[in-house]
Chains A and B, each alone.
Chain A
Amino acid sequence: MPKILIVEDEPNLLELYTKEMRDEGYEVLTAMDGEVALDLVKKQLPDLVILDIKIRKMDGLKVLHEIKQFNKDIPVILNSAYETFKSDFSSWVADAYLVKTSNLDQLKLNTKKLLQLN
């Protein structure tokens, strides 16, 4: 069972993503801030990370950078309410950039694709 880490500081959204991804058959790890997220990446070695950008303690883009430095093969999906970070070149190392919506089909599809590639 693939293990994915969801980083999201909105508790209700985190809960939604967790439930939906579990329904998809993934093992789900959760983190509400950047520091916890990085800690989990290093200790639990998830197969994929879904990462919000505006989070507490450490900026999502910095977390992305650290994950890729730690292991560039872990796919990361940036999942932000804002489209603006698309033009920030530090977001380009992400494997996918999604703008948050209530329809999780794209999130699920991208997760599935990236896990298959690996």
Chain B
Amino acid sequence: MSTTIKPVNQKAWFLILPVLVCVAFSAILPLMTVVNYSVQDIISPERRVFVGTEWFAAIMRDEELHGALLRQLTFSFSVLMVELPLGILLALAMPAQGWKSSAVLVIVSLSLLIPWNVVGTIWQIFGRTDIGLMGAALQGLGIEYSYTGNATHAWLTVLLMDVWHWTPLVGLLGYAGLRSIPDAYYQAASIDGASKLAVFWYVQLPKMRGVLMIAVLLRFMDSFMIYTEPFVLTGGGPGNSTTFLSQFLTLKAVGQFDVGPAAAFSLIYFLIILLLSFILYNWMQRVGTQEKGGAHG
């Protein structure tokens, strides 16, 4: 949220009431159900035993969970490290106006519009060395590429697929943010004799802060919950090298047909994302409103 001083007006609650109704209806009721399940052992629809925090404790001790969590954290971190700079570069490179800007906008957005299972399916074929363009090309370059057999290759392929799929999200947000900068800022910077790098660092990047924060949080959360694409592409393999947290949850829930632990895990899952997002959010807010002038003097 912006940091300038705003007038206090409690009547503003009326303006957000519609939003609260929509979201609460969709969120609170189901959430309460989940909480309900997470503290019960549902042996059958008739027999439910209250078990308190037993499921939570069991999950925290689970070694496999630790592994999945670590893989997930590494994945999300890599996603942010690649997609953020790449998205910003993309936003800067996209034309500002004319027919070219429209064409580039459409081309760049295509990957976002493909249903996620289709994304996984396309990359499945795309990565095969016998019938896929990328696979064949890599093999042609002499690389023993196999996303089904080699864990590193699988990892990199999943990452590449995610970068291909989601970088445009960062790009589009950044692009819209850039278009919102009034000309006068560029004119003033030109008059002040600023280099292109200085214009980026002191004008463009600060003015994109709002949209970039949204981009970071969105990409972090969505990558932390990623399920369909890696599942379709690698099925979590080879072994469990690309089994991330979401798939792990599903395996536990579906595999063991146990709603109780699954619900408990869901809550923990949610809390982890909440905690990390909260940290990210506050860190970014603070970076934006430091008391001292920026360290890039």
A binds B: no
Give B contacts to A, CB under 8 Å. none
